[in-house]
Amino acid sequence: MKMGNTADRKMTIVVFSGELDRALAAFNIATTAASMGTEVTMFFTFWGLNIVKKERGKVGEGNWMKRMLNIINRGGARRLKLSKMNMAGAGTAMMKYLMGKHRMPSLQEMLILAEEMGVKMIACTTTMALMGLSEKDFIPAVKEFAGAATYVGNALESQVNLFI
């Protein structure tokens, strides 16, 4: 391809995981794709919702099981742990230190960058109901709340679909 015919270039990423390393990989690909003229949609579901939850995720509503889910998954990109070598937080702290030392953007910075670059972020309403979350529990970058049909509709029009 010589000229970038970017009009119909689309990518979707299902962000299922809520770990720091997996989230970083998802946002790395999303921002890169956006810089290559791709319309990127990130669909956050299950533990992935923690990445885009406001830092002080609510605890109060729903039955005790939902409240417990929100106590364990307090949310906020800053709180995520590594999928491996977390070592009670020491491994994650070390990784963050090394990333900072190498001037790599933090996940919070990647989130801002992705939003600025027009990456669309959708939260899964089914998981939200399951976990007793509402629209106001999410950061403003999340502008759409939808279900699987929205995702599949989007995926069918895309050339690249990832599940992280």
Question: CA-to-CA distance for 95 and 91, rounded, in angstroms?
Answer: 6
CB of 36 to other proteins, least distance (A): 5
Cα(51)–Cα(45) distance, integer angstroms: 10
> In the structure encoding, which two tokens stand for residue 155, read together?
């995926």
Site pattern 87..126 for other proteins (x: CB under 8 A): ---------------xxxx-------x---x---------
One-letter amino acid identity for 125?
Answer: T
Instruction: Say which DSSP state 53 is in.
Output: B
Residues that bind other proteins (rule: CB under 8 A) add up to a total of 18
Query: Which of 4, 100, 118, 153 touches other proteins (CB under 8 A)?
Result: 4
Residue nearer to other proteins on the CB measure, 35 or 126: 35
User: What three-state secondary structure class fits 138?
Assistant: strand
Instruction: Say which amino acid occupies 39.
Output: E
Q: How far is the CB of 103 from other proteins (least distance, A)?
A: 5
- Interface with other proteins by CB under 8 A: which range of 3-11, 12-20, 120-128, 153-161? 3-11
Choice between 28 and 127, CB closer to other proteins: 28
CB of 72 to other proteins, least distance (A): 31
Q: Which two tokens stand for residue 50?
A: 């923690």
| Residue type present at position 3 | M
Q: Which of 76, 60, 7, 69 is nearest to 37 (CA)?
A: 7
- Stretch 24-53 residues interacting with other proteins (CB under 8 A): 28, 31-32, 35-37
Q: Which is nearer to other proteins, 6 or 134 (CB)?
A: 6
Structure tokens at 92: 């994650």
Evaluate whether 92 touches 20 at the Cβ level (below 8 Å).
yes
Comparing CB distances to other proteins, the nearer of 9 and 54 is 9
Q: State the residues that interact with other proteins by CB under 8 A.
A: 1-6, 28, 31-32, 35-37, 102-105, 113, 117
